[in-house]
Structure 1
């Protein structure tokens, strides 16, 4: 079984990677429709010839790495099962303690270390292209520091969640998916509440916006939208990247309006105000809460389908993998595989909903400020700074874009009429 897995996994992955490479580098059309040539949506009007070349290469290489990473994750989960690593991790954790509350975190730590090591080349490839094309300026040591923070934070959270999950599986073998979902709801709300003040500061320094005149203008927009914000935060992203961003996140008294300092340095005040009006639009239209509701609803579906499918998977291959049953922590890679596949299938629909929300926020911003020139200019500069592909192929858009393409956004703004 091990030899057959290596042969088939290697062969199928090689074929897939080759086809994706040809699609992205040769077959797919990244061009500009004739109807939009010469307009503000045509990158040739706001990018130099060199920038156009860099943008095309950078976006295609990064997208290729992202597409390759998807099946690679599935291969890791299957490999952990086929080669007996999952059973080995379980046996080791059982030797350490007889208590589930200790066994599961130990198992999760082993699995997290292995998957981090195996996926490190993918993460490093993303970083290498970002550095090579001038998007990232973060030192390797700084990048590794962020990697370690992410690893330990995600391992801790995962260990807590998986421990609770397997306790439920053992106590409620037929209804664990429902009780797990009920417990996930307060957890998601709690994470959304603490994200701006606990998690985000682990990676960057946040401080009050230094430009008080601009802050006054942003807070005036927030006040007009009934956002309970008393200050605007600036984050020092320039030590890591040249890309630009801004956002509104958090709920309740932890809500924050945040600007990357690269955005402040790269855009005029009018353009910054448009970007902030877009983010404020998300708040006004309750997109933050709709995102939370969507996560809650989709998690219910994923948990139920996972419950139904994991039994089928374990009946067929559980014995060969050394997995005793669904309540055996060694079944975790199989459960993660099922959930990952289900998430992949649902991705196009989720991204389509997200693109619609982003379009609505763009409409809100242009109607709020009525500054078409600043709106178009902000997106053009975002494209230049991030070497973004303004018109990606349909496959890339459907599986990776939570925003409309920059070409679609600029076209909409240019055609805007009050």
Structure 2
């Protein structure tokens, strides 16, 4: 196994050097010749210092993503192959003879171990956000949010993993289909429960105090036939300085939510355009389309997951000390396969998301016919959130679930009503 670890380490280092070379030889602020000096060219709406800062933070974010994702796979692999997973199982057997409790203790222990191992990575992002003024959150608040997330993970993932291994044992040839079927109501339920139950755990939601702006937003929602007058602002400034807004819920529970950072940074016209974009997602049923497409992709991914998992367990169960597919010692293998496959399908998911985001931009233009504020809102995202207007191709397909700011600004600039 030492030879495997050495080869893995060497491969990872070569990969990391390649990623660094690729990212740092690209200029994410570069625009095509025909856009130079135009409204999508950062030199026309950002200072040289802002462009330098946006390039620096963007490159760090790109490199972090491409380096930390495979690092996560290595962590799962090491936990699985080094005997850590087996020793954790042995410890739970010494603590109780009740198999159900053994499984619960094992899952809690593994999640706690992964939380600790990932803490330095989360800390890196915390430092970067503060270094470039993308966050003003205190260390204690940041750690508190991490612990809340860990608590939610325990509440949701312990029964989830116990259920998965139970299905693997009871339905050795069909468990992946059962998981997919069960994921349908769970996905739909979480879509409605998260904004009402989970999000308020981390932030405070209050009715929008600006009555004039509220009246304009309600005018937009009325024009779009959205049955709501619930307009909220959430105190995201406690965690981040970045900008965002969204429409969530269904029927009488529909609500428009603004991050307070957006309200403090954008003009009324820019806020109206951003709202029209989010309304577009609602009117065009993107939430439901996303669920259906996600479930269809999930079906295929689970089939591949099932085949790979069974093959690996059958081929390597002796060296990995796994009793069979239903042995919960194989949980790191489940997490490894899930992470790798999730990464592999990102280009497909992002391409679909970018299509819907473009459709929402089209809807916003049809609703507002306001080129000036639309362009300025995109320029504000670039300046305030330090977003690169034209990221490298690999970043675009693996990281960007929106069209580039270059594409979005050019689209609006050439819009013909």
Under a length normalisation based on structure 1, what TM-score does the superposition of the two structures give?
A: 0.96
Between the two proteins, the alignment pairs up a number of residues equal to 417
* 2: CA distance, partners of 1:91 / 1:303: 30
Aligned-residue offset at 1:102: 2.8
For 2:326, the equivalent position in structure 1 comes to 327
| Structure 2 counterparts to residues 324-363 of structure 1, below 5 A | 324-363=323-362
Q: Kindly indicate whether the alpha-carbon contact (under 8 Å) linking 1:249 and 1:255 is maintained by their aligned counterparts in 2.
A: yes
Q: Kindly indicate whether the alpha-carbon contact (under 8 Å) linking 1:215 and 1:232 is maintained by their aligned counterparts in 2.
A: yes
C-alpha deviations, 1:91-113, integer Å up to 9, x for none? 23334445554333322211111
For 1:235, the equivalent position in structure 2 comes to 234
* 2: CA distance, partners of 1:5 / 1:158: 31
C-alpha deviations, 1:105-138, integer Å up to 9, x for none? 3222111111122222221111111110111111
Runs of at least 5 residues in structure 2 that lack an aligned partner in the other structure: none
Aligned-residue offset at 1:241: 1.9
Aligned-residue offset at 1:299: 2.3
Under a length normalisation based on structure 2, what TM-score does the superposition of the two structures give?
A: 0.97
Q: Kindly indicate whether the alpha-carbon contact (under 8 Å) linking 2:207 and 2:233 is maintained by their aligned counterparts in 1.
A: yes
More moved, 104-113 vs 73-82: 104-113
Q: Kindly indicate whether the alpha-carbon contact (under 8 Å) linking 2:229 and 2:255 is maintained by their aligned counterparts in 1.
A: no
More moved, 3-12 vs 60-69: 3-12
Aligned-residue offset at 1:160: 1.4
Aligned residue for 1:296, secondary structure, equals helix
| Structure 2 counterparts to residues 211-230 of structure 1, below 5 A | 211-230=210-229
For 1:389, the equivalent position in structure 2 comes to 388
* 1: CA distance, partners of 2:256 / 2:104: 36
Runs of at least 5 residues in structure 1 that lack an aligned partner in the other structure: none
For 1:399, the equivalent position in structure 2 comes to 398
| Structure 2 counterparts to residues 296-335 of structure 1, below 5 A | 296-335=295-334
Aligned residue for 1:234, secondary structure, equals strand
1:39 aligns with 2:64: no
C-alpha deviations, 1:240-262, integer Å up to 9, x for none? 22211001123454432100111
* 2: CA distance, partners of 1:256 / 1:79: 45
C-alpha deviations, 1:38-93, integer Å up to 9, x for none? 11100111101110110010100111111111101110111011111111222233
Aligned-residue offset at 1:176: 0.9
Q: Kindly indicate whether the alpha-carbon contact (under 8 Å) linking 2:28 and 2:389 is maintained by their aligned counterparts in 1.
A: no
* 1: CA distance, partners of 2:95 / 2:191: 35
For 1:367, the equivalent position in structure 2 comes to 366
Q: Kindly indicate whether the alpha-carbon contact (under 8 Å) linking 1:30 and 1:393 is maintained by their aligned counterparts in 2.
A: no
Aligned-residue offset at 1:323: 0.8
For 1:208, the equivalent position in structure 2 comes to 207
For 1:376, the equivalent position in structure 2 comes to 375
* 1: CA distance, partners of 2:99 / 2:383: 52
| Structure 2 counterparts to residues 27-106 of structure 1, below 5 A | 27=26, 30-106=29-105
More moved, 267-276 vs 317-326: 317-326
Q: Kindly indicate whether the alpha-carbon contact (under 8 Å) linking 1:195 and 1:250 is maintained by their aligned counterparts in 2.
A: no
Aligned-residue offset at 1:27: 4.8
More moved, 337-346 vs 22-31: 22-31
More moved, 315-324 vs 325-334: 315-324
For 2:407, the equivalent position in structure 1 comes to 408
For 1:142, the equivalent position in structure 2 comes to 141
For 1:265, the equivalent position in structure 2 comes to 264
Q: CA RMSD in A?
A: 1.4
